[in-house]
Amino acid sequence: MSETQQLTRLGVEKVGSRLGAVIHGIDARQELSEEEKTFLNTELVKNKVIFLKRQFLDDEQHERFARVFGKPILHPTIAAPEGTNYTFELKSRYGRSTDSWHTDVTFVPDYPKASILRALHIPPYGGGTIWANTATAYDALPQPLKNLADTAWAIHSNDYDTNYYKFDAKQSEIADFRAEFISRIYETKHPVVRVHPQTGERNLLLGHFVVGLDGFSTRESNALVEIFQNYITEVENTLTWRWEEGDVAIWDNRATQHYAPADFDHHPRQLRRITVQGDIPLSVDGRASYYLRRP
Ligand SMILES: O=C(O)CCC(=O)C(=O)O
Ligand SMILES: [Fe+2]
């Protein structure tokens, strides 16, 4: 197949106003061409979350496909399921989900650049995932709030407040997960505004691993973070994806937050995720994020 033929079969279907596109013409189970890899990386940065429908990847294909976007990395504390090297499992039998807005793994400085999530088992209703654009959220801030965000720093930790779980999931399941999640404690200081290394856009870098803003009291910090988060999670600033089994979502973890509503009762739900290596964020004035604490 000539290069032009190959490129013409690739398609981008925008599915959200501020972010989100479905990519057509890619079979992620196969080894991809350089053109296809470049295309996917370009569309990822442009659309912030992209979807490939009905791919039905196995674990090995998932890990290989993730390499299109970077170097797969292990979660700092949660072990990969047996038979996989870099996989993070989201498996729910009691209605638990990550029903809290976040960017993945921001409790380390060089948190993942992108996450690649595939759906194995989806409940009969609910069980979608919502993404938000952290660049348009920044752009929407009034100038005085931009000025504050540009100069503020936040402390992120994996020992954050997990009481966010709204659905009354089985408490022992939550407790077991939390125990493993905080088996080693990390703390990182990030600028509230991260300059995107590829687009130069300013992105709000917050989410549920934030334990506080540097230099503010807990009350002030909570109030300020809520103001910023409200801009991120404004409904018009988000996109909801209704999964079908086999679908793959890839998000730019430097430019988005996401949330998985616990709206599927006790139906089983299973997804697997691979994250790829990120680089260290830089603030508007060029200062880098750093560890405050590591095991
Ligand atoms: O369960 C989901 O849909 C997303 C969970 C999540 O936060 C993630 O995969 O990073
Ligand atoms: Fe996540």
Domain containing 149: what range? 3-293
> Ligand 2 centroid vs 97 CA: distance in angstroms?
10
Closest ligand to C-alpha of residue 115 is 1
pTM over 0.90: yes
Amino acid at 164: Y
Q: What is the pLDDT of residue 45?
A: 98
> Ligand 1 centroid vs 259 CA: distance in angstroms?
7
Q: How far is CA 139 from the centre of its chain?
A: 20
User: Which residue's structure tokens are 């807990």?
Assistant: 218
Question: Number of structural domains, the chain?
Answer: 1
Tokens of 169: 């999931």
* Residues 255 and 133 sit within 8 Å (Cβ to Cβ): yes
Note the pLDDT tens digit of each residue in 176-208. Answer: 778 888 889 999 999 999 999 999 999 999 999
49 pocket-lining for ligand 1 (C-beta < 6 Å): no
Range 222-229, long-range pairs (CB < 8 A, 24+ positions): 224/148, 224/152, 225/154, 227/145, 228/137, 228/141, 228/145, 228/149, 228/192, 228/204, 229/101
* Residues 114 and 275 sit within 8 Å (Cβ to Cβ): yes
Q: What is the pLDDT of residue 1?
A: 47
What CA–CA distance (Å, rounded) separates 204 from 284? 11
Q: Of 8-17, 19-28, 195-204, 251-260, which range is least confident?
A: 8-17
Task: Please indicate whether residue 173 or residue 201 has the higher confidence score (pLDDT).
Answer: 201
158 pocket-lining for ligand 1 (C-beta < 6 Å): no
Q: What is the CATH number of the domain that holds 35?
A: 3.60.130.10
What CA–CA distance (Å, rounded) separates 233 from 221? 18
Q: Of 28-37, 75-84, 236-245, 256-265, which range is least confident?
A: 75-84
Note the pLDDT tens digit of each residue in 248-271. Answer: 999 999 999 999 999 999 899 999
- Helices 218-233, 143-151: inter-axial angle, 10-degree rounding: 120
* Residues 89 and 270 sit within 8 Å (Cβ to Cβ): yes
Q: What is the pLDDT of residue 163?
A: 56
First-to-last C-alpha distance (Å) of the chain: 51
Amino acid at 209: F
Residue nearest to atom 7 of ligand 1 (CA): 98
Q: What angle do CA 61, 63, 68 make, to 5 degrees?
A: 95
Q: What is the pLDDT of residue 176?
A: 78
Helix (H, G, I), strand (E, B) or coil at 290: strand
User: Which residue's structure tokens are 């407040």?
Assistant: 161
Position 62 pLDDT exceeds 90: yes
Q: What angle do CA 119, 40, 202 make, to 5 degrees?
A: 95
Query: Residue 172, class by beta-carbon neighbours within 10 Å (0-12 exposed, 13-18 middle, 19+ buried)?
Result: exposed
Residue nearest to atom 1 of ligand 1 (CA): 260
* Residues 134 and 203 sit within 8 Å (Cβ to Cβ): yes
> Ligand 2 centroid vs 156 CA: distance in angstroms?
15
* Residues 258 and 51 sit within 8 Å (Cβ to Cβ): no
Amino acid at 150: D
Note the pLDDT tens digit of each residue in 102-139. Answer: 999 999 999 999 999 999 999 999 999 999 999 999 99
Position 95 pLDDT exceeds 80: no
Whether the complex's predicted ipTM is more than 0.95 is answered with yes
